[in-house]
Amino acid sequence: MATKPYLLYAYPWMPYPRRIIIYLRERKIPSTLVTIVPVSDPHLPTGNTVSPSFPPRPQGSLPILAIPSSSTSTSTDTPVTYTYIRQSVAIMHYLDTLCDTASNGFPLSKYPMRGIDALSQARETELLTLAEELLVAWNPVRMFGTGAGTMPYPEGAKEMLRWVYRDLYTVESWFQDRRSFDHLERGGRGPSVAEIVLYQFFEFTRVCYGVDLLGRVEGEMVVDVYGREVVMRFDRLKEFVRVFGGRESAVLEEDEKPSKEVLANMSRWEDGVL
């Protein structure tokens, strides 16, 4: 049993911390085990600060999981020493291993989130890699195409958006052999780590940037980045987003949304990008 809770330092609305918040809800990991430490928005004058009731924010990009030393006493007079994990997927894999083995007081997993055998683990890694590629490909789109970026370059943003759609088309094809998303329905088994990461990408682009990536090109014939004519249809992905969005873990609380000032910049698109 952990003597003190793990601390998750996070900007609750940003994509990398947000995926862990969804994961914690799905695994039903209580705040007594992992306490979310909200860090104020870095874009605001009082940004990058935490409540004085928590240890100061560690150096590095968020999220950061602070793991108390096993030798740390419960006494309030004893300084706590921490080990840090600074990458969202690594954090989820670490916590999931604790759940799979019911270690350190973490609840025993009711189902595997990373596959049950070599093939299913490989398939989940496939999807996780694709989901990560989507967010990486989105970065130059928003950096050069919105008010949240540092350099307006609408032509470059528009071109990079085509690469986002290349990845979306790949994920749509990946889902073609899935018969249903019953496991994501209320009362169903629940999502995998890869599905959490994928869903959060769509939540992020819709809520923060005001873009329905799947609906805006529905049925269009386009020339993809390889010069091929492709009809933009994402029936499986649209069903995935719809079903996952109905889960309790996907509820977006008010304190998990960006400030109005930040949201205004993110949703201000340069002409010709979309």
* CATH number reported for the structural domain that contains residue 43 in this entry: 3.40.30.10
| Single residue among 100, 135, 155 that ends a domain in this structure | 100
The predicted structure's pLDDT at residue 76 = 56
Does pLDDT of 7 surpass 90? yes
Alpha-carbon torsion, ordered 69, 74, 77, 81, to 10 deg: 10
Q: Which residues contact 228 (CB under 8 A, 6 or more apart)?
A: none
Same domain, 122 and 257: yes
Judgement on whether residues 135 and 262 belong to the same structural domain of the protein:
yes
Cis peptide bond N-terminal to 63, omega within 30: yes
Q: How confident is the model at residue 49 (pLDDT cuts 50, 70, 90)?
A: confident
Given this model, what pLDDT does residue 234 score?
96
95 within some domain: yes
Identify the domain boundary among 73, 100, 127: 100
Last residue of a domain, one of 100, 126, 161: 100
Q: How confident is the model at residue 160 (pLDDT cuts 50, 70, 90)?
A: very high
Confidence of residue 77 (pLDDT cuts 50, 70, 90): low
CATH, residue 178 = 1.20.1050
Residues contacting residue 225 through CB under 8 Å, at least 6 positions apart: 162, 163, 166
User: 107 in a domain, yes or no?
Assistant: no
Q: Reply yes or no on whether the pLDDT at 43 is more than 80.
A: no
Same domain, yes or no, for 127 and 238? yes
Q: How many domains does the chain have?
A: 2
Claim to verify: residue 126 and residue 84 sit in the same structural domain: no
Residues 234 and 201 in one domain: yes
Query: Does pLDDT of 102 surpass 70?
Result: yes
Q: Is residue 183 part of a domain?
A: yes
Q: What is the value of pTM for the model shown? A: 0.93
| Mean pLDDT computed over 59-67 | 95
Q: How confident is the model at residue 42 (pLDDT cuts 50, 70, 90)?
A: confident
Task: Identify which of 52, 55, 57, 51 has the alpha carbon closest to the alpha carbon of residue 17.
Answer: 57
Higher per-residue pLDDT: 161 or 4: 161
What are the b/e assignments for 71-91, b being 16+ CB within 10 Å? ebeeeeeeebebeebeebbeb
Are residues 150 and 177 located together in one domain of the fold? yes
- The domain in which residue 244 lies consists of 118-266
Cβ proximity of 217 and 165 under 8 Å: yes
